[in-house]
Structure 1
Amino acid sequence: MSQPGIRLVIGLGNPGPDYALTRHNAGFWLVDKLVEAYHGQLRAEAKFHGLMARVSVGGHDLRLLKPTTYMNHSGRSVAAVARYFDIAVEQILIAYDELDLPPGRAKLKHGGGHAGHNGMRDSIAALGSRDFWRLRMGIGHPGDKTRVIGYVLGRPSQADAAAILDVADDAVRAMPDLVEGRFQLAMNRLHAVPSTP
């Protein structure tokens, strides 16, 4: 029996031009790629505290969300959309930046903790559950925990940005499997080690 597929993809990030190109906005980058690939249009939705688009993937409705609450309050937006559209927790995918993976690597996982990520911490609290899917998009680690805040709010090198966007492209290509509940196939694609030129 197949699992229920994804119906809501949320990319975590901070709103505004000052943050647009920072590592912490990797989740936003994925949503932008999905909007482009599936010819959607993001619209500001005050009641959802974010920018939303609705697209069709393989005949399935998929909603895309970029919370505009700032990272630490992402859950307000996530929970508002999930409740309004009656989307089950296991049909939600949250994409976000991951310090413990290098740029160009990703990890698709069901359930788990927040590992110190404030956007995830707030989303778990607001949903009242950890049982959603998450896509951890590697951004690398600065090597010292005292430098983390400046690092995630800084811009990646051109090579690192390209590697993060490659992961977003892989996730776009995996979306038909994700909406159909073929999570193992999506994992196979997303966990593949990128080939070096």
Structure 2
Amino acid sequence: MIVGLSNPKTQYHKTRHNVGSWFVYYLAKRYLKLFKKDKKFFGFTSFFNIKSNCIRLLVPNIFMNLNGKSVFEMASFYNINLSEILIIHDDLELKPGVAKLKYSYGHNGHNGLRDVISTFNKKTDFYRFRIGIGRPINKHEISSFVLSNPNKIEEVLIKKSILHAIEETINLLTLRC
């Protein structure tokens, strides 16, 4: 299962905080897949196959600090463990254009990850791609920064890092499946 953490699509789709959803939409486009709104999972869902293995895609359509509910519902329905989920999210610690794969436990202050961990209620390592968005100069501006759109240069760098992360993801899936 691959999840792009996000806030509701219509309001926040182009914001830095939703780069996780950008990743999942680009990945689905690569496989010519469309999303459907799925109320049962509080988001948009799709899937694709690699070597006869179904890879579920999810973009929650609820607020970031509630994304765990969406992820948990879909994972429970399809009997997917947290350790089998790749979560893509924005990361203030990385500059735009940088993406890093991580397999560990923890949220590093990210409210979406915090809610996923809390909802699953297990101390389990899981995969995540951290997509760099940079950090505002003033710490008091973090909320408005992540909920705003990147400038054109940042957007190009973020999209480039997402496309690179997608290639790495496909390589990983091809090896593991």
Unpaired runs of 5+ in structure 2? none
Instruction: Look up the match of 1:101.
Output: 94
Q: Map Cα deviations across residues 78-126 of structure 1 (whole Å, 9 max, x no partner).
A: 0011111011222100000000000000111111311111101000011
Shift of 1:68: 0.9
- Cα distance in 2 for partners of 1:43, 1:25 equals 18
- Cα distance in 2 for partners of 1:131, 1:112 equals 4
* Cα RMSD after superposing both structures: 1.3
Question: What letter corresponds to residue 155 of structure 1 in structure 2?
Answer: N
Instruction: Look up the match of 1:34.
Output: 27
| SS of 1:114 mapped into structure 2 | coil
Q: Map Cα deviations across residues 21-78 of structure 1 (whole Å, 9 max, x no partner).
A: 1100100100110110011111111111110001113442111100112101000000
Is 1:172 aligned with 2:166? yes
Unpaired runs of 5+ in structure 1? 1-7, 183-197
Q: TM-score, normalised by structure 1?
A: 0.84
- Cα distance in 1 for partners of 2:80, 2:165 equals 21
Mapping for residues 96-135 of structure 1, pairs under 5 Å: 96-129=89-122, 130-135=124-129
Question: What letter corresponds to residue 162 of structure 1 in structure 2?
Answer: V
- Cα distance in 2 for partners of 1:51, 1:141 equals 28
Instruction: Look up the match of 1:24.
Output: 17
Instruction: Look up the match of 2:67.
Output: 74
Q: TM-score, normalised by structure 2?
A: 0.93
The structure in which a higher percent of residues are helix is 2
Question: What letter corresponds to residue 76 of structure 1 in structure 2?
Answer: K
CA contact (8 A) 1:44 1:50 kept: yes
Q: How many residues align?
A: 175
Question: What letter corresponds to residue 149 of structure 2 in structure 1?
Answer: R
